[in-house]
């Protein structure tokens, strides 16, 4: 199954009417795993999703939270 198909199926199952930028989420997970430590990847993406949901859950909310997390990851030594 392709990533696009999986994302669409998961969104449908979760009742999400959202166009997910999978590449941005995966890039953030990769960067967190390399700049912080590997377990930071799923935790970071979960927290970004949770924060975006609290902000309203729009595509823009997700993008903003990804940007915030990406900036923080990039500041890590």
- Confidence band, pLDDT 50/70/90 cuts, at residue 21: confident
What is the pTM (predicted TM-score) of this model? 0.88
The predicted pLDDT at position 55 comes to 98
Q: Where are the beta strands (DSSP E) in the chain?
A: none
Out of 7-16, 17-26, 56-65, pick the least confident.
17-26
Rounded Cα distance between 21 and 26, Å, is 9
pLDDT tens-place string over residues 29-68: 999 999 999 999 999 999 999 999 999 999 899 999 999 9
User: Is residue 17 very low, low, confident or very high in pLDDT (cuts 50, 70, 90)?
Assistant: confident
Report how far residue 31's alpha carbon sits from residue 49's, in angstroms, rounded to the nearest whole number: 16
Burial of 57 (0-12, 13-18, 19+ CB in 10 A): middle
pLDDT of residue 42: 97
Rounded mean pLDDT of 3-7?
91
Query: How is residue 49 annotated by DSSP?
Result: H
| For the chain, the helix, strand and coil percentages under 3-state DSSP, each to the nearest 5 | 75, 0, 25
């Amino acid at each position: 199954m392709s990533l696009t198909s999986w994302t669409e199926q998961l969104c449908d199952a979760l009742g999400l009417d959202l166009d997910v930028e999978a590449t941005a989420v995966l890039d953030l997970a990769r960067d967190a795993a390399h700049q912080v430590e590997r377990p930071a990847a799923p935790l970071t993406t979960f927290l970004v999703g949770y924060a975006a949901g609290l902000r309203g859950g729009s595509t823009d909310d997700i993008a903003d939270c990804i940007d915030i997390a990406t900036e923080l990851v990039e500041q890590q030594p």
